[in-house]
Structure 1
Amino acid sequence: MLINISGVFRISVIIENNVVDIYNSDKWCIWMSNLKNYSTSTIIQYMKSVERFFIWGCHNPQNEESFPFYLAHYRQALLAGFVIYDHDEEGNEFILCKSQQLSKKTINKELEGIKSYYRFIDESRLFDTLVIDQRYESTRSSKGLLAGIQIKKSDDYLQAFGKREEFLRAFRTPKSTEESIKAFPFILYDKLLTHAKPRERLIFLLCGACSARIGQTLNLTLQDIDFDKKEVWLIDPLSDQKDQYGIPRRKWLSEVYGIDVKSHIEHSKKDFRFKYPIPLKREPLFWLAEDKYKDIFFKTLLEYTASPQYNIARIKKVPHPFIFMTISGARLTQASVLRSMKNIFLKIESDLLKRKKLMNLGPHSLRHMFGSAMAEIYALTGDESLIYVCKEAMGHASLDSTMIYFNMLPETKKKLIAEVSRKIMDQKQG
């Protein structure tokens, strides 16, 4: 089980009436939170993965197989599903651990959790210590996780995952299809903007016309806007990335506003997690239909910052630089933006809205709309440079993420085929 002590989790298991603690699991929890900036849900998921692997390992000897093969053995067990039994003091059998059949995609996540723990052990130089409780070592020293871990420093992680190439590769899973890309229809985008109040309109413009994630959008400050050049930047508040004036963001927040984004309760919510850079390189945001939507953005920004609501909110609380606020001066949350978006959906009369079940969509669907719109432009022009522009604009580290939009949209394929067919027919007739 996971024991929560003041927000720090520890893995503790009772096996054969012995309490077994995964060594330094509490420090691993802190490592994931502070060094890796993982969310609480990810930390819990990873720790449960290691707990499951540990219990399974205690009942399945490693024998002479190498650790990568041992992991592969465990992976097959997850694929098939398994049940681990134990006995109480009176000899009664009970289920200690049960895992249903998991999909390959879920199994890959399970192994990521195990990999994270081994990486922590490797970086902490803990391989030459015992990894679980001393009381249990004598009874299980030749089995499972113990046998795999009690080897020379770093070897286990490097054997299992390698420095550059993993020996135990993740399962290949099908690429996302168009059905999994819930993009807001571009045809309704202007209606969404028209019905939105200035604050929400700015957010929808950044998410839709610039492909920003909602968490990134909510970190916008006036410091990130160049009114003369009409440029907008989005900067991770936890990073040392410099703003347009050459000031590191984390330093600026600390020295000017006294804000430590990592520990300050109001600013450390997962609503404001930045995730990845956008765009991919340090440059201003890209705009879809730049002349139109950038112009709307800057006009709306002047309207919003001049409004009584904005200025009243600005003086109600301890100052902070983030421009998206509630009337009380608190930072606007993702849940609040989602509610506003749903309310606007009710005002938009459209058969498409009902047919596509768009009431299930949120702000992230606007980011998908950006990618889908870029694919449509590509279908009309055939300009392959648009694929790479889209990759940079959306902040994708891998081209595979971008190609989901260009490869999987039936409308794009149809338009490309129609365009090529027309050109072929024109050549024949000529």
Structure 2
Amino acid sequence: MSKMRDRYELEHLYSEPIRAFRIYLKQSGYTPSTQKEYMRESLLYLESLNGISPQDVGKLHIMEFLSDKQGSAGDKTRNRSLSAIRTFYMALMDFEIASKNPAAEVKKSKTEKNKKPTYLEEEDLSKSLQFIEGRYKNRNIAMFLLMAYCGLRVGEVHRLNLKDLKKNRGTIEVFGKGRKWNEIPVPEVLLDYLLEVEKERITPYRVQEDAFFVSQKGRRLSIRQIQKIVNQTFELFKKNNPNINDMKLSCHKLRHSFATMLLKNDVDIRVVKELMGHSSIETTMMYTHINDEQKKKAMATVNVPVNVIGELK
């Protein structure tokens, strides 16, 4: 039996859950690449059920499926599959197809959990701003600042609409993961840039287009276009700063830098969780880095009782 035939039969057998998951991913604001990846993982999972209804499956089957994944491809692939399956069941619960999420009880691999995100120190983050270029420089700076100093995901910048900027309140409303709205206070400098971008904004060809960030053709900037602008900025930054040349920098690393900066400035982790739009405090805990300078400062507070043990002879 060909793979095409398998896929057709799978979609026929599980038509309702698959349709619900597609709608859920689209409405929840997942990026096209994540939607594609999660659909692929969910179809592999459904294939493993051999005709059993997803709502009749327990934790054991999911762990067996993930164990096979981990054995052939490693922890990272296992955890990506788990995220997809968790989201799949969230969709089924949302559409009242399932009453529970058996994947919610399955733990992620410890290897992935302990991995620290890459981030820029506050000084380097500030320096990188000097290398933002382009014909629409104010627009590019505003997008960069939203990710680096408000913690927005690239998809959230892409989805930002004119009505989401609350000028009187000095905030933006962000539509994030899990179809949740999050109101974020905007630093005054960034607010000035957003107001300027709104003034300079090209009138879209489509009257109903409400996108805050548009291209030179008046269309909503795609995620790929935003990533390209940020990547070009980092390429220039690296050429002029050899000390960060080996770092893999991207839009998401700006978000990592924002979270780390807040925690280093002693902002309550519960507040950071809300600003980042995390569903769990465990996710926010990944950003509690301890660097060498902090270790030195901590050890400087330790007093060894020389008067008791005596001087070294």
Same fold (TM over 0.5): yes
Alignment of 1:225-244 (within 5 A): 225-229=165-169, 231-236=170-175
Q: Secondary structure at the match of 1:318?
A: coil
191, 199, 202: which one pairs with 2:139? 199
Cα distance in 2 between the residues matched to 1:323 and 1:201: 14
Task: Name the residue aligned to 1:271.
Answer: none
Does residue 42 (structure 1) correspond to residue 38 (structure 2)? The answer is yes
- Mapped to 1, the partners of 2:285 and 2:260 lie a distance apart of 10
Q: 2:311: which partner in 1?
A: none
Amino acid at match of 1:350: N
Amino acid at match of 1:216: E
The CA deviation at 1:403 is 0.9
Please, what TM-score do these two structures have when normalized by structure 1? 0.55
**Which runs of no fewer than 5 residues in structure 2 stay unpaired?**
308-313
Q: Pick the aligned partner of 1:388 from 256, 270, 273.
A: 270
TM (norm. structure 2) is: 0.73
Which deviates the most, 106-115 or 184-193?
A: 106-115
Distance (whole Å) between structure 1 residues aligned to residue 43 and residue 216 of structure 2: 40
Which of 149, 158, 161 in structure 1 is aligned with 2:102?
Answer: 161
Matched, 1:403 2:281: no
Q: Is residue 2:260 matched to residue 1:369?
A: no
Amino acid at match of 2:119: A
User: 1:347 maps to which residue?
Assistant: 236
Instruction: Give, in whole Å, the separation in 2 of the partners of 1:70 and 1:424.
Output: 49
Q: Give 1:295 deviation, angstroms.
A: 2.7
1:285 aligns with 2:184: yes
**Which residue among 97, 117, 121 is the counterpart of 1:181?**
117
Residue identity in the other structure for 2:177: K
Q: CA deviation at 1:329?
A: 1.0
Distance 2:282 2:90 in 1: 28
Aligned residue identity for 1:390 = V
Instruction: State the 1:27 CA deviation.
Output: 2.6
- For 2:19, the equivalent position in structure 1 comes to 30
Matches of residues 193-272 of structure 1 in structure 2 within 5 Å? Answer: 193-196=129-132, 197-229=137-169, 231-236=170-175
The verdict on how the C-alpha distance between 1:278 and 1:393 changes in structure 2, with shifts beyond 3 A counting, is farther
Q: Deviations over 1:260-285 (max 9, x none)?
A: xxxxxxxxxxxxxx324778xx5x31
**8 Å CA contact 2:263, 2:287 repeated in 1:** yes
Using the alignment, how far apart are the partners of 1:118 and 1:329 within structure 2?
36
Kept in 2, the 8 Å contact 1:222–1:323? The answer is: yes
Per the TM alignment, residue 209 of structure 1 is displaced from its structure 2 partner at its CA by: 0.5
Task: Give the paired residue count.
Answer: 289
Q: CA deviation at 1:321?
A: 1.5
Post-superposition shift, 1:397?
A: 1.7
Instruction: Give the CA deviation at 1:376.
Output: 2.3
State how far apart, in whole Å, the 2-side matches of 1:80 and 1:224 are: 41
**Match of 2:61?**
71
Whole-angstrom distance in 1 between the partners of 2:129 and 2:70: 49
Distance in 2 (CA, whole Å) between partners of 1:393 and 1:173 is: 25
Q: Partner amino acid for 2:191?
A: F
Taking the aligned partners of 2:251 and 2:303, their CA distance within structure 1 comes to: 42
Identity in percent: 18
1:275 aligns with 2:177: yes
RMSD: 4.1
Is the CA contact 1:105–1:173 (under 8 Å) kept in the aligned structure 2?
Answer: no
Structure 1 residue 70 displacement after superposition: 6.8
Provide, for residues 81-131 of structure 1, a one-character-per-residue CA deviation record: whole Å limited to 9, x for no partner. 6xxxxxxxxxxxxxxxxxxx343554465567778589959x777xxxxxx
The answer to whether the 8 Å contact 1:214/1:334 transfers is: yes
Higher relative contact order (CA 8 A, sep 6+): 2
Deviation at 1:215, TM superposition (A): 0.9
Unmatched 5+ stretches in structure 1: 13-20, 58-65, 82-100, 126-153, 237-273, 288-293, 379-384
Q: Distance in 1 between matches of 2:213 and 2:127?
A: 22
Deviation at 1:303, TM superposition (A): 2.8
Whichever structure has more helix as a proportion of its residues is: 2
